[in-house]
Amino acid sequence: MTAFRGADLHCHSTFSDGLESPAQLVQRGVDAGLSVLALSDHDAVHGLPEFEAAAKGTGLVTVTASELSTRCDGDDVHVLGLFLDPDEVELRAKLARFRGDRDTRGSAMVEKLLALGMPLDIEEIRVVVGDGAFGRPHIARAMVARGYVKTLDEAFERFLSRGKPGYVPKPKWTLDEAIAAIRQAGGLSVVAHPIWYRDPEKVVSLGVAAGLDGLEVIHADQDGQKENQFSGLAEREGLLKSAGSDYHGPPEGRKRVGACLLDEENWNRMVAAATTRRAEAGRPPLDLRPR
């Protein structure tokens, strides 16, 4: 047995708003010396076969995942579905519909930006998005490329965040629906980056009432103090603890594969819960052997 070297359970690729392919992500995981890596694209599971294929021969343990957007308590609450069966048909169909909605919403945002004097080429952006999930980062990057803003953060702060003039909402799950859909697909539901919400404790308690499994205690945007706070919250609520970098590429500060790692004890707890969940949901058993 080789020693456990940590699990990064939250990463994006070009199948949503990440900048690197699943194969590039796998290479990042190998370079960081990880034991476990998850691909958790927004509203997408169709990048997982490529991720799986790229991991062959690396010795990494791979985790199938997706990040779902929900509305909860007036916030856009992200829920990770970890260990879900990517072949579950209802989930696949719903995610495909959401990706269609994202495309419609993307072109509506481009229209709004045009009216604000910032023309963008929607077809050029669609080429970049490909068959992935169209997100605000795609628009923000196009705005930077045209020189309308200097950074992605500026694009969000001035135009793309909720309440700003370029923002268009997208259809979302309710928190309860997302948790139920993940459960049906044999996965574990985890509230992502609690620091993003106005009242994380309320979000978690609503989640627990709906069958939530875990909380992302360690995340690139959460410092040591927040980590302790969310760790305590997870313990009080009987939730699994999760960890992830939320990598979108290229590496930057703590948004780097391997910068936010789950330890062996918490990983083992997750594996036990996921194994049970798969069986209860009637989905195929997990294969967590190193690839």
Site residues for ligand AMP per CB under 6 A: 17, 42, 69, 135-137, 152-153, 156, 248
In the bound state with ligand AMP, the residue whose beta carbon lies nearer, of 148 and 156, is 156
> Residue 136 binds which one of Zn ion, Fe ion, ligand AMP, none, with CB within 5 to 8 A depending on kind?
ligand AMP
- Give Rg (Cα) of the chain: 18
Which one-letter amino acid corresponds to residue 157?
E
Is 283 an interacting residue with respect to Fe ion (CB under 5 A)?
Answer: no
Crossing angle of the two packed helices 89-115 and 175-184, in degrees rounded to 10:
140
x/- binding map, residues 173-212, to Fe ion, per CB under 5 A?
-------------------x--------------------
In the bound state with ligand AMP, the residue whose beta carbon lies nearer, of 140 and 261, is 140
> Residue 183 binds which one of Zn ion, Fe ion, ligand AMP, none, with CB within 5 to 8 A depending on kind?
none
Token representation of residue 2: 């080789």
**Cβ distance 275 to 286 under 8 Å?**
yes
Q: Smallest distance, Å, CB 156 to ligand AMP?
A: 4
Q: Smallest distance, Å, CB 36 to Fe ion?
A: 19
In the bound state with ligand AMP, the residue whose beta carbon lies nearer, of 86 and 166, is 166
Is 246 an interacting residue with respect to Zn ion (CB under 5 A)?
Answer: yes
Q: How many CB atoms lie within 10 A of CB 31?
A: 11
From the list 11, 13, 17, 99, which residue makes contact with Fe ion (rule: CB under 5 A)? Answer: 17
Q: Of 281, 261, 260, 262, give the one whose Cα is nearest residue 271.
A: 262
Provide the greatest CA pair distance for the chain: 60
DSSP codes of every residue in 166-231: T------EEHHHHHHHHHHTT-EEEE--GGGSS-HHHHHHHHHHTT--EEEEEETT--HHHHHHHH
From the list 32, 64, 78, 267, which residue makes contact with Fe ion (rule: CB under 5 A)? Answer: 78
Q: Smallest distance, Å, CB 180 to Fe ion?
A: 20
- Return the residue nearest ligand AMP (CB atom): 135
Token representation of residue 68: 């779902």
Phi, psi of 175 (to 5 degrees): -60, -45
- Binding segment (CB under 5 A) for Zn ion, from list 125-133, 169-177, 183-191, 245-253: 245-253
What does the binding site for Zn ion look like in residue numbers (CB under 5 A)? 67, 246
What does the binding site for Fe ion look like in residue numbers (CB under 5 A)? 17, 78, 192
